[in-house]
Amino acid sequence: MARFQELRAGRAHRFVVFKVDDSLQQVVVDKVGPRESSFDDLTAALPADDCRYAVYDHDFTVGDATAVVADGEAPRSKIFFVAWSPAAADVRSKMVYASSCEGFKKELDGVQIDLQATEPSELTLDVLKDHVS
């Protein structure tokens, strides 16, 4: 959870990708995206044939989110949780990730928006923008 805390509190990372370890007993860090990473870097870090969890720190301005502020646009940030379960993943992997998802999310204090995606079209920058507007 240290990497997630670094993302949430210290804003040290743009994203963290997690996987269930080989023993199927715990969730471990798979990849970490530095602060200058893009959303495309996150989607590229997700395997096409296996499940993962990810958290992504999405920066936007209130103008992007269609919120009104007196002094114009102001920067904002929201942390997204992504449950990635592609169609090409084997059934066992999908079952393991589905059964451990809620428990793992409870450990991620500060996540504001949950997404589930099974294909790349469900995980785009436009989808994120829809959730902050």
What's 73's domain CATH number?
Answer: 3.40.20.10
Quote the domain boundaries for residue 123. Answer: 2-132
More confident residue, 65 or 39: 39
pLDDT over threshold 90, residue 87: yes
30-55 confidence digits (pLDDT tens): 999 999 999 999 999 999 999 999 99
* DSSP one-letter code for 21: -
pTM for the model stands at: 0.87
pLDDT over threshold 90, residue 74: no
Measured CA to CA, the distance from residue 128 to residue 122 in angstroms comes to 10
Task: Please give the share of the chain, as a percent, with pLDDT higher than 90.
Answer: 67
Half-sphere exposure of 45 (CA within 13 A, CB side): 24
Residue count (the chain): 133
Give the per-residue pLDDT at 63: 56
Number of domains in the chain: 1
The full DSSP string for 72-97 is: S--EEEEEEEEEE--TTS-HHHHHHH
